[in-house]
Amino acid sequence: MSIQSCVTIINEWDIVAARQLGRNVAKELGFGTVDQARITTAISELARNIYLYAGKGQICIDKLFDGGKPGVKISAIDSGPGISDIRQVMEDGYSTSGGLGAGLPGVKRLMDQFEIESIPGDGTKIKATKWLR
Amino acid sequence: MRIPILKLYNCLLVSIQWELDDQTALQFQEDLLQKIHETSVSGVVIDLTSIDFIDSFIAKVLGDVIDMSNLMGAKVVITGIQPAVAITLIELGIGLNNVLTAIDLEKGLEKLQQELGE
């Protein structure tokens, strides 16, 4: 079972809207303040990547219920330039924007599950999930 | 919305009370440097007690404004970082190394006075 809500990312304000949505969902599902901060931060980083590198995209937040265990899934989808070397962007300290926007390895550490799919010229799809402990 | 910057003796006092968006953060950077210039203070305390998350962008803006203030001759102490903020920053890979910090505003002001040798 999954309930989804989405925010279209075009400008900086949409980043704020996306992380507020995520925080509200996390709070609603009973996540503590530390996990709320992790989820909010992860959304902020992913939304900023869309804003910086793709120009436009979507952040969707799913409430998951896996055998009664709640979770939050963040999907970041864009049809931007894509990433040609995923291994490189998953290395700590790699940046093409001088430290703005995030560290995908950071997002991976904040969340429990992390998947990335990208086709150069076609776009990027990232899914990151956090389960309630 | 602009973040208020208060002058207290030889220090500036900033308490960030709401979630920072990009524009507010960048405006704050300029406002703080301008205020340091106008008041010729030698220290700044930025209190983050009310902030419940910091992403890499806000961290970069904060780190930069600390370096910029140092360049101008003002020392900055960051205070009141919440446990959740400390955890997420380190997990993100942002250490904010070489930044002066203190547990709360009171300790921050004390630390600043020590640093300034007064």
pLDDT at B3: 95
Q: A residues 52-91 near B, CB within 8 Å?
A: none
Q: How far apart are CA B104 and CA B113, in angstroms?
A: 14
- Taking all residues of chain B, what is their mean pLDDT, rounded to a whole number? 94
Q: Is A92 on the interface with B (CB under 8 A)?
A: yes
Nearest-neighbour CA in chain A from B56: distance (Å): 6
Q: How far apart are CA B33 and CA B4, in angstroms?
A: 13
Structure token pair of residue A31: 């996540």
Interchain CB distance below 8 Å, A48 and B55: yes
Q: How far apart are CA A42 and CA A34, in angstroms?
A: 12
Tens digits of per-residue pLDDT, B67-77?
999 999 999 99
Interchain CB distance below 8 Å, A33 and B52: yes
Answer whether residue A100 shows pLDDT above 90: no
Tell me what the mean pLDDT of segment B50-56 comes to: 93
The full set of domains in chain A, from first to last, is 2-131 (3.30.565.10)
Q: How far apart are CA A4 and CA A65, in angstroms?
A: 12
Is beta strand B5-8 parallel, antiparallel or unpaired with respect to A123-131? unpaired
Q: For residue B97, which residues of chain A lie inside 8 Å, CB to CB?
A: none
Residues 6 or more apart in contact with residue B11 via CB below 8 angstroms: B41, B42, B43, B44, B45, B109, B112
Lowest mean pLDDT among A48-52, B11-15, B68-72: A48-52
Instruction: Enumerate the H helices of B4-118 as residue ranges.
Output: 22-39, 56-72, 83-92, 105-116
Interchain CB distance below 8 Å, A99 and B56: yes
Answer whether residue A101 shows pLDDT above 90: no
3-class DSSP assignment, residue B73 = coil
**In the structure, what pLDDT confidence band is assigned to residue A97 with cuts at 50, 70 and 90?**
low
Q: For residue B19, which residues of chain A lie inside 8 Å, CB to CB?
A: 16, 20
Q: For residue A103, which residues of chain B lie inside 8 Å, CB to CB?
A: 56, 92-93
| CA dihedral sign of residues A86, A87, A91, A96 | negative
- CB-CB: which of B19, B54, B57 is closest to A48? B57
Question: If one looks up domain B5-104 in CATH, what number appears?
Answer: 3.30.750.24
**In the structure, what pLDDT confidence band is assigned to residue A92 with cuts at 50, 70 and 90?**
confident
Q: pTM here?
A: 0.92
pLDDT at B94: 87
Nearest-by-CA chain A residue for B82: A34
Answer whether residue A102 shows pLDDT above 80: no
Nearest-neighbour CA in chain B from A51: distance (Å): 12
Lowest mean pLDDT among A74-78, A82-86, B61-65, B85-89: A82-86
pLDDT at A56: 95
- Domain range annotation of chain B: 5-104
Q: Is A15 on the interface with B (CB under 8 A)?
A: yes
